[in-house]
Structure 1
Amino acid sequence: MKQKITTVIIDDEPLSRDELKFLLKQYSEVEIVAEGDCGEKGLEKIIINEPDVVFLDIEMPQMSGIDLAKAIQNMKKVPLIIFATAYPAYAATAFRVQALDYLLKPFDEQQVGDTIKRIKERLQITDTKEPPPSIIAKLAVEDDGRIVYLSPKDITYLFREERETVICTEDGNFSSKMTIKDLEEKLKGYPFFRTHKSYLVNLDKVEQLIPWFNRAYQLKVIGKKEVIPVSRNYVKSLREHLEL
Structure 2
Amino acid sequence: MNCIIVDDEFPSREELKYFINNFSNIKIMEEFDDSIIALEYIELNKPDIIFLDINMPKLDGMALGKIISHFPKKSLVIFITAHKDYAVDAFEIQAYDYILKPYSEERIVSTLKKIEKCSDEKFTNSKITLWKDNKMIVRSITQISYCEAKERETLIYINGEQYNVSCSISEF
Max radius of gyration: which structure?
1
TM norm structure 1: 0.48
Seq. identity, %: 41
What letter corresponds to residue 27 of structure 1 in structure 2? F
TM-score (norm 2): 0.66
C-alpha separation between the residues in 2 aligned to 1:118 and 1:100?
Answer: 10
* Paired amino acid for 2:64: L
* Aligned-residue offset at 1:125: 5.2
Q: Say which SS state the counterpart of residue 54 (structure 1) adopts.
A: strand
Q: Deviations over 1:104-130 (max 9, x none)?
A: 11111110111112212332359xxxx
The structure whose residues are more often helix, as a share, is: 2
How well do the aligned residues superpose, as a CA RMSD in angstroms? 1.5
Larger RCO of the pair (alpha carbons < 8 Å, separation 6+) = 2
Q: SS in structure 2 opposite 1:75?
A: coil
Question: Is 1:109 aligned to residue 105 of structure 2?
Answer: yes
**In the alignment, what sits opposite 1:14?**
10
Q: Counterpart in 2 of 1:29?
A: 25
Secondary structure in 2 aligned to 1:63? Answer: coil
Matches within 5 A, 1:162-177: none
The answer as to whether partners of 2:8 and 2:32 remain within 8 angstroms in 1 is: yes
**Contact 1:35 1:45 (8 Å CA) reproduced:** no
Q: CA deviation at 1:80?
A: 0.3
Structure 1 unaligned regions, length at least 5: 127-244
Q: Any idea what SS the aligned residue of 2:77 has?
A: strand
The answer for the alignment partner of 1:86 in structure 2 is 82
Contact 1:8/1:45 (8 A) holds in 2 = no
Q: Which runs of 5+ in 2 are unaligned?
A: 123-172
| Separation (CA, whole Å) in 1 of partners of 2:15 and 2:22 | 12
- How many residues align? The count is 122
Runs of 4+ aligned residues of structure 1 deviating over 3 Å after TM superposition are none
1:28 Cα shift?
4.3
Q: What is aligned with 2:92?
A: 96
Q: Could you give the per-residue CA deviations for residues 36-79 of structure 1, whole angstroms, max 9, x where no partner exists?
A: 11210111121222111000000111211111111112222110
Check the 8 A contact 1:7/1:34 in 2, yes or no.
Answer: yes
Residue matched to 2:55: 59
Q: Deviations over 1:191-212 (max 9, x none)?
A: xxxxxxxxxxxxxxxxxxxxxx
Q: Does the alignment pair 1:74 with 2:70?
A: yes
